[in-house]
Every structure is written in C-alpha cells, then in structure tokens.
Amino acid sequence: MIYPIIPYGNPILRQKAAPIEPGTDLQRLVQDMFLTMDAIDAAGLAAPQVGISGQLFVVHAGPYEETSNSEPKNPKRVYINPTLEILEPNTIIYREEGCMSVPGIYVNVPRSRRIRIKFFDIHWQEQEEEATDLLARIIQHEYDHLIGKLNIDYAGATMRLLLKRKLENIQRGKVQVNYSMRFK
Ligand code: ZN
C-alpha cells in the first residue's frame, strides 16, 4: 500500500514521536513505507509523514548519490527508535532541502557532515552506524521529523515572511503535487 503524505499544518508533524514498543512487528509498515518512498521519489520518509506518531524512518540515499560506477550505492535502510550523535559539530554544510510534507519549498539547511546513529533494525537487533555527506544529511532530516521539526524551521526571518503565503496554501490543500496527500 502506498500511503498518502501528511502535509504541513497537521499537528502530527509537530509532535515528538513516541518510541515504538520493542518486538512490534513492523514488516508490513516498513514494506509500505519503502513502497511509498519509491513511488513519490523521496530520499527518506518518516512515520509521522504517513500519519503514524512512532520513532521510525526509512532512507534511500542511493538514487541521489554521486558515486563512481565501482562504488556501491546506499541501499534502502530502516531506523527504529534512533538516537543521533553529531560527530563533527564544526563541519557544517548548507544545502537546499525539500520535504514531501512541505511541497514546493526549499530551505538552505545546515547539517553536520558526519553523524553516528544508534537504532534498532527490523528484527529488533541493536545497530550502530556512521554516515557522512548525503546519507548523513538525509538521516538528520528524517530524525528531525521524529522531534517535530521541519526544514522550514531553519529559514531566516525574512524567508519565513516570504514563505507565509505558501505555507497557508499548503494547509488549505492548494498545492500541486504528483503524489497523493491526506488533507483534513
Ligand atoms: Zn521531510
């Protein structure tokens, strides 16, 4: 099943997501989130964006990575109940970020180049990974979703003013996207 995406304005995107009960069978949910991520051409998708307030997100950096032919591209990943650690707090890179829940809006977001993430995998095994560059950026973006934060929160005061109308339009469902969104 391909989920419709929850748009900006829905309070679930501003809540701190609840930890998922260890042992919960998440196979179906994760499979559907992978399907949805592929269908809407996203590099990542967090549970609150499909209407579930749980600490889970999926990431697929591969299609968006610039790597040489010999380098393997990053496969799809799932992160459950993650904790994030910034490894290079002084190496901050700015890059424009979009979000499927905030269509048509791109914000220059500062992210740490290197992170470490501890999480559970789909089999509830504890895992730990380090990530750099694009993968690190996507993970930080999706992790933000679990604490109720969005790309627009990184916009400066002037840009926020400029975005006001656009955000109101998203809330009213006045947006054109090529994927389905669930407005109230
Ligand atoms: Zn997002």
Q: In sequence order, what E strands does the chain have?
A: 44-46, 56-59, 77-86, 92-97, 107-112, 114-120, 126-132
Residue 182 has pLDDT above 90, yes or no: yes
List, for residues 3-60, the tens digit of each pLDDT value: 999 999 999 999 999 999 999 999 999 999 999 999 999 999 999 999 999 999 999 9
How does DSSP classify residue 15? S
**Residue 61's pLDDT band (boundaries 50, 70, 90)?**
confident
Residues 72/61, Cβ–Cβ less than 8 Å: no
CA distance 119 to 80: 5
C-alpha 70 to ligand 1 mean position (Å): 30
C-alpha 98 to ligand 1 mean position (Å): 7
Per-residue pLDDT at 169: 96
C-alpha 32 to ligand 1 mean position (Å): 17
List, for residues 112-155, the tens digit of each pLDDT value: 999 999 999 999 999 999 999 999 999 999 999 999 999 999 99
Residue 70 has pLDDT above 90, yes or no: no
pTM for the model? 0.95
Per-residue pLDDT at 123: 96
Per-residue pLDDT at 139: 98
Backbone angles phi, psi at 88, to 5 degrees: -125, 75
**Residues with catalytic function:** 142
- Return the C-alpha torsion angle 30, 31, 32, 35, nearest 10: 120
- The type of residue at 38 is D
| Tokens found for residue 126 | 């504890």
Q: Where are the alpha helices (DSSP H) in the chain?
A: 27-39, 133-146, 157-171
C-alpha 127 to ligand 1 mean position (Å): 23
